[in-house]
Structure 1
Amino acid sequence: MRKIIDLCKEVPLLPIVILAAIPLALIPSWRPWGHIPSAFDPGVGEWIVILLVAWTIITSIREMIKSLRAGHVGVDLLAVVALASTVAVQQYWAAWAVTLMVASGDAIESYAQSKARGSLTALIKAAPQQAHVVTLPGVTGTDAATDSEGFRAVQQAIDDAQRTGETLSAGNSHFTTVPVDQVKLGSVLLVLPGEIVPVDGTLLSGSATLDLSNINGEPVPRTVFSGAKVLSGAINGSTTMMIRSTSLAKDSQYQQILKLVQSAQDSRAAVVRTADMLAVPFTIISFLIAGIAWAVSGTPLRFAQVLVLATPCPLLIAAPVAYVAGTGRLAKASILIKAQDVLENLGRVTHVFFDKTGTLTVKQPRVVGVQKAKDAPASLTEDEILLMAGVIESYSVHVLAKGITEAGKEAMERLHRVPKSARVGHRNPRTAAGELPDPIENYPVVGNIVEDAGKGVSGTVDGHPVRVGRFVYVTGEQIASATAHNAQEAEANEKEMEREDHKAADLWPTQLEPDEMATYIAIDGKLAARIVLRDVPRANARKSIDRLHELGVKDLTMVTGDKKASAMIIANEVGITDVRYELLPEDKVNAVREASEEAAKGKDPWWDRVMTKLLGESMHRPVTMMVGDGVNDAPVLAVADIGMAMTDGTSTAASESAQVVIMNDDIACVPRAISIARRTKRIMLQAVCVGLALAIVGMVCAAFNLIPVVVGAFLQEGIDVVSILWALTALFDRD
């Protein structure tokens, strides 16, 4: 009932038209003023309908003028003439039905658009509106605030509230609530349990659990720790957290998402513009049928009889509703587009280029094995080696450090050792009371960390000296001294690495594969093992490539700067045969540009050439798409017909050069986006063609006097409903 009331408020003409049926039915010819000596002598109920018709005609003409100024061709003229003709032949019930059609068409459009925009509206409603800014002296504007008395006071208030279950308020935690656009850079903010993070920032509290489903669709909450980047739009978990703002509201992650959503909502797809163009021949055909029927029958009633069936809704409503629904369907799948034209082009993709690293493969090299040295103690297990290497590498910024750190965490779990993050205010109350053992005591003690840039990291783990890095670095002074005399070491770095690999190969029975790399670890001054890493394909990369083949996308190309041997290994694993390797960034750009230019040379059918002249672009030309991470691939994303950036919601939402952004870092979204786009276009064309076909059949029947004018007016309402409901099926998940 509430939805019906809201709909009536949005389209007030609808309830007025419905109520007008009462006097038309009860007192159609009542004339308290007496009869007028004229052929045109309507009663009270009929005059009410005439006034509604006049109002509808005026507003329709205004909309027609507005549409023409915006460059859109409409079919409101059919409704206007149908209204005027039904009144002219004094068919007031038919006039009332056509007026109802216009009013209900607006209501149906409003409902359908809101239904289609469901996923997009949910994103917009989740936009942060306010922020809690800490007002204590010493906690506003400088990084030193984390050491101030004021910061500790706020942190104590948070801890006390969490311990006692008390609800934080401005009175007990020293903050003030302001609109989100008033937050300044460097401000310290509180985010209460269940609230939306207002702006991008850095976590100051010990830890927090965040729901990122609004950003990347990730269903499982993510736990982050002090110093981590926190994105606007994330929903805080059950504990109050404190962040320092690093972006203004307008520049924050969620606002970038909203810009994409708004851009897509405001745009008009090429196919929708095609529907606009179909309005011209449809209008001509409608008037032609009506005119012939009038001329042959000799009665103007036949003219009105035909036009009441000339329903414009398949063109006015069904086409844009289908594309808005498709845009919402993409958003629900964590795929955002910048314009509805992109949705149209997605359905025509014939050639997809993939960047290798971070797109077809995981973001960083993964540990695939641990090979113990011959002299390593037998009691030293692979998990213990990984644990020590992981905790040491967690202090490094080297490109391989993250992979080793992750492997170390997994080994730590297998060995029942607890990560350091467990120390930050999350001890089990039963542990604190002595009822349970304290797992923190089992965490490895790390100290004396020193990183030698370009060589490795050293430190102590549980009292054992550990070195992780290049072979020469970890094997100690005797080998390092053999090369110390080389004053040109920096210039001969590549040759030195080759010599290291040769020396290292003597210690293991097998050599590294072309796509593998190794980091070495020494424990207690002795070489213990080499940790083997490689660029690993995403788990669903092969399945996604196969799905693209099923969709008919035959041309798939991998572009990479890697050498041939390592590139071919990944390509074979994911199922791509066209591989371009050892490419510089400009080489990638040229490869994609050449493919796009070659596709543009294809010969279009005559109808497509006509549409190209009308709309300024080809409707069937093959489309090339580049899929990358949206950061390093910016130039090549820009040159492709469609640039698709894959992010995980922790980087910028939309690369300026990408037209499509995958927010959940899932390569399966590549074929899913194409599938949704194709289905959306198919449904749109079906809704338009079925609606127009039914309307033309109805008009022909009316021309032969098989459908009375009042029946025809109500029949075209049914045609409208069928077309619009058909268009809304683009929302359903059939992919």
Structure 2
Amino acid sequence: MRRIIDLCKEVPLLPLTLLAAIPLALIPQWRPWGRIHPAFDPGVGEWIIILFVAWTIYTSIREMIDSIRHGHVGVDLLAIVALVSTVCVQQYWASWAVVLMVASGEAIESYAQNKAKGNLAALIKAAPQQAHVVTLPGADASGEADMTDEGFRKVQQAVEDAQREGKPLNAGNGHFETVPVNDVRLGSVLLVLPGEIVPVDGLLLSGTASVDLSNINGEPVPRTIFAGAKVLSGSINGSTTMMIRTTSLAADSQYQQILKLVSSAEESRAAVVRTADMLAVPFTIVSFAIAIVAWIVSGTGLRFAQVLVLATPCPLLIAAPVAYVAGTARLAKHKILVKSQDVLENLGRVTHVFFDKTGTLTVKQPQVVRVEKADGVPADVSEDEILMMAGVVEGFSVHVLAKGIVEAGRSAMERLGRLPSSSGKKASDDHVDASHRALPNPNENYPVVGNVSEIPGKGVRGTVDGHKVEVGRYAFVTGQGIASQKVRNAAEEERNEKAMEAADREAAKLWPDELEPDEMATYIAIDGHLAARIVLRDIPRYNAKQSVRELRDLGVKEETMLTGDKKSSAMIIANEVGITDVRYELLPQDKVEAVRQASQEERSGAETWWERAAAKLLGEPIHRDVTMMVGDGVNDSPVLAVADIGMAMTDGTSTAASESAEVVIMNDDIGAVPKGVRIARQTKQRMLQAVLVGIALAIVGMVCAAFNLIPVVAGAFLQEAIDVVSILWALTALFDRR
């Protein structure tokens, strides 16, 4: 009932038109003023309908002019002429039905649009509105000092006291004040209470926090983050009060970037929707032709009205945009955001997909694939114990291999019972930004780590449970002195590096199995003795092969992998994911040229007469083949920009690539690539079905009306039924199906 009331408030013409039926039924020809003219003398009930007709014509003309000003074809002309003709032939019930059709059409469109925008509205509704700015010394935007533990405790105590005493939290007891989110300055310290939305991007100052990123990337399990980690606007704070120092203004924060994508998609109009507008022109001509012929042949203007009440092109006016808004919302539900509905239309016509290798087809960092123990290591020292020690020490390293070892070490600790099991997700499935990755809070079983130090480019050392642990290059962990000697000049540094490379080659001889071309190794020593070689490699995402296969099943003609890696490494990944076209040893400009050349070749293909006609009709080129580039990193931005469609894969924490892309995957899932293509195709299919079926039924109805098989009042209600069917069918683009 509430929804009906809201709908009537949004479209007041609908309930008023329904009420107008009462005087038309009870006092249609009551004339307290007497007769005016013998040829045209409506009663009270009929005059009320005439007034409704006049208002509807006025609003329709105004909307039609506004549409033309915005570059859309105004096709309300059919409804206007139908209203005028029914009044002229004094078929007031038919006039009432046409007015009802216009009003209910607006109501149905409003309902359908609101239903389709539900997923997008959920994103917008979650936008942060206010922020708690800490007012303690050292917390202002101009202050150089960071908040101390004592200051943080003061703020926490203020929050607890206010809650206990029932005081409003924005009072803050002098420690913080609540302001609109747009008033937050860079560098300010903000307090985020439990369960609140993080208002702007910032860095975590308090020790640890748990954040829910489901609004941003759909990640179902909250992340535990530590001091210094990046905190994104739109994420939801867990059960503890946290403090952040802002790194972006509200307008530039991550969640606002997402909302910009949503807004641009809502405001755009797809090429197919514009095509539907254009189809309304010949439909209008055909409708008038049938109506005029019927009038001439029958000799009565009533037949003209009978035809036109069936001719209003609601399937074109409403069904097409509803389908595309529904498709856009459905993509958003799966964390796939498009910048415009044009992109959604083109996404369904993709024929050639280019993939960046590292971070797109593969995980974001090399993963541990095996541990090879050195000779002389006691049998009771397991591989998991070695991985655990390596992982906790590498947790303090910034080396590119460190993250993979940390992840393997965490899994090893879970197997050893020294760490509570996490979500059960495989390490290879966990694509988490480095700034968010950290080991869980220490407990009584967690290894005791200390005296950690790192020598960049060589290795990291520390103590784990009292054992001296060194992880890094062979010369470093075996204490050959090369890694620790002081370097006085560039020549000495070069000799040092060559000596370490020679030591690495000697180390390879200690193991019978050689490394594959795409594998890399690091070494670990425990208590001064070489313990193992840890082998890592760039592994494909767990669903990369399936995603490539699904694209092929969808009819995508070509899949190409672009990489700067050597041929041997590139071919291993390509074979694993099922891609045969591989371009390797490419510089960024080479990738751009490869995609640009493919786009030009596919554009130059022969077009059919229909495509040429459509291109001329729309005033823009239409190409049968579309290239798409899928990437994730900053260096992918130029390639994303040059492709017909650029698709950026992010985990919701980065925007560099997404700024150059037309499609942004927010949950870092390569499976969203074929899913997006499938949804785009289904959306276009539903739109065309709704439009063509609606037009076909209207034309059949008009022909029947021309032969006097459908009375004028019945025709008006029949057209209403056609409109409802078309719009509801277009709305099915919102629902998931294979």
Q: Is the 8 A contact 2:475 2:500 kept in 1?
A: no
Q: Is the 8 A contact 1:256 1:653 kept in 2?
A: no
Equivalent in the alignment of 1:392: 393
Matched, 1:138 2:141: no
| Whole-angstrom CA distance in 1 between matches of 2:654 and 2:490 | 42
Instruction: Give 1:265's aligned amino acid.
Output: E
Matched, 1:546 2:544: no
Deviations 1:238-286 (A, max 9, x none): 3322222111100001000000000000000000000010011000000
Deviation at 1:479, TM superposition (A): 6.7
* Partner secondary structure for residue 613 of structure 1: helix
Deviations 1:543-591 (A, max 9, x none): 1111111101120000101111111111111111111111111111111
Residue 211 to residue 440, structure 1, CA distance change in 2 (3 Å): closer
Matched, 1:20 2:23: no
Deviation at 1:515, TM superposition (A): 0.8
Deviation at 1:229, TM superposition (A): 1.1
Deviations 1:683-727 (A, max 9, x none): 000000000000000000000000000000111000000000000
Deviation at 1:350, TM superposition (A): 0.2
| Whole-angstrom CA distance in 2 between matches of 1:230 and 1:394 | 20
Instruction: Give 2:340's aligned amino acid.
Output: A
Q: Which range moved further: 368-377 or 132-141?
A: 132-141
Match of 2:469 among 442, 453, 466: 466
TM-score (norm 2): 0.93
Residue 630 to residue 343, structure 1, CA distance change in 2 (3 Å): farther
| Whole-angstrom CA distance in 2 between matches of 1:239 and 1:355 | 40
Equivalent in the alignment of 2:290: 289
Q: Which range moved further: 54-63 or 86-95?
A: 54-63
Residue identity over aligned pairs, in percent, reads 77
Q: Is the 8 A contact 1:649 1:664 kept in 2?
A: yes
* Partner secondary structure for residue 660 of structure 2: coil
Matched, 1:638 2:638: no
Deviation at 1:635, TM superposition (A): 0.8
Q: Which range moved further: 82-91 or 1-10?
A: 1-10
Q: Is the 8 A contact 2:310 2:716 kept in 1?
A: yes
Unpaired segments of 5 or more residues in structure 2?
423-440
Match of 1:525 among 524, 528, 551: 528
Deviations 1:482-523 (A, max 9, x none): 999997454468865652342012211111111100011122
Equivalent in the alignment of 2:432: none
Deviation at 1:167, TM superposition (A): 8.9
Q: Which range moved further: 316-325 or 187-196?
A: 187-196
Equivalent in the alignment of 1:147: 148
Residue 692 to residue 345, structure 1, CA distance change in 2 (3 Å): same
Matched, 1:703 2:706: yes
Match of 2:564 among 561, 576, 582: 561
Query: 1:172-211 counterparts in 2 under 5 A?
Result: 174-211=175-212
Equivalent in the alignment of 2:67: 67
Residue 159 to residue 414, structure 1, CA distance change in 2 (3 Å): farther
Matched, 1:229 2:242: no
Residue 565 to residue 498, structure 1, CA distance change in 2 (3 Å): farther
Deviation at 1:407, TM superposition (A): 1.3
Q: Is the 8 A contact 2:186 2:247 kept in 1?
A: yes
Q: Is the 8 A contact 1:468 1:522 kept in 2?
A: yes
| Whole-angstrom CA distance in 1 between matches of 2:265 and 2:613 | 26
Equivalent in the alignment of 1:97: 97
Unpaired segments of 5 or more residues in structure 1?
422-437
Matched, 1:726 2:717: no
* Partner secondary structure for residue 144 of structure 1: coil
| Whole-angstrom CA distance in 1 between matches of 2:638 and 2:442 | 49
Query: 1:291-690 counterparts in 2 under 5 A?
Result: 291-418=292-419, 440-477=443-480, 488=491, 490-491=493-494, 496=499, 498-652=501-655, 655-690=658-693
Q: Is the 8 A contact 1:293 1:303 kept in 2?
A: yes
Q: Is the 8 A contact 1:417 1:439 kept in 2?
A: no
Deviation at 1:653, TM superposition (A): 7.8
| Whole-angstrom CA distance in 1 between matches of 2:589 and 2:20 | 69
Q: Which range moved further: 301-310 or 221-230?
A: 221-230
Deviation at 1:56, TM superposition (A): 0.8
| Whole-angstrom CA distance in 2 between matches of 1:395 and 1:521 | 15
| Whole-angstrom CA distance in 2 between matches of 1:604 and 1:596 | 15
Q: Is the 8 A contact 1:112 1:728 kept in 2?
A: yes
Q: Which range moved further: 453-462 or 37-46?
A: 453-462
TM-score (norm 1): 0.94
| Whole-angstrom CA distance in 1 between matches of 2:19 and 2:736 | 39
Residue 418 to residue 155, structure 1, CA distance change in 2 (3 Å): farther
Deviations 1:199-222 (A, max 9, x none): 111122232222211101122222
| Whole-angstrom CA distance in 1 between matches of 2:498 and 2:615 | 58
Instruction: Give 2:359's aligned amino acid.
Output: G
Deviation at 1:414, TM superposition (A): 2.3
| Whole-angstrom CA distance in 2 between matches of 1:415 and 1:161 | 44
Deviations 1:385-425 (A, max 9, x none): 11221121111111101111111122222223359x9xxxx
Q: Is the 8 A contact 1:631 1:655 kept in 2?
A: no
Corresponding residue pairs, total: 717
Q: Is the 8 A contact 2:303 2:706 kept in 1?
A: yes
Q: Is the 8 A contact 1:133 1:189 kept in 2?
A: yes
Residue 481 to residue 404, structure 1, CA distance change in 2 (3 Å): closer
* Partner secondary structure for residue 644 of structure 1: strand
* Partner secondary structure for residue 522 of structure 1: strand
Q: Which range moved further: 146-155 or 91-100?
A: 146-155
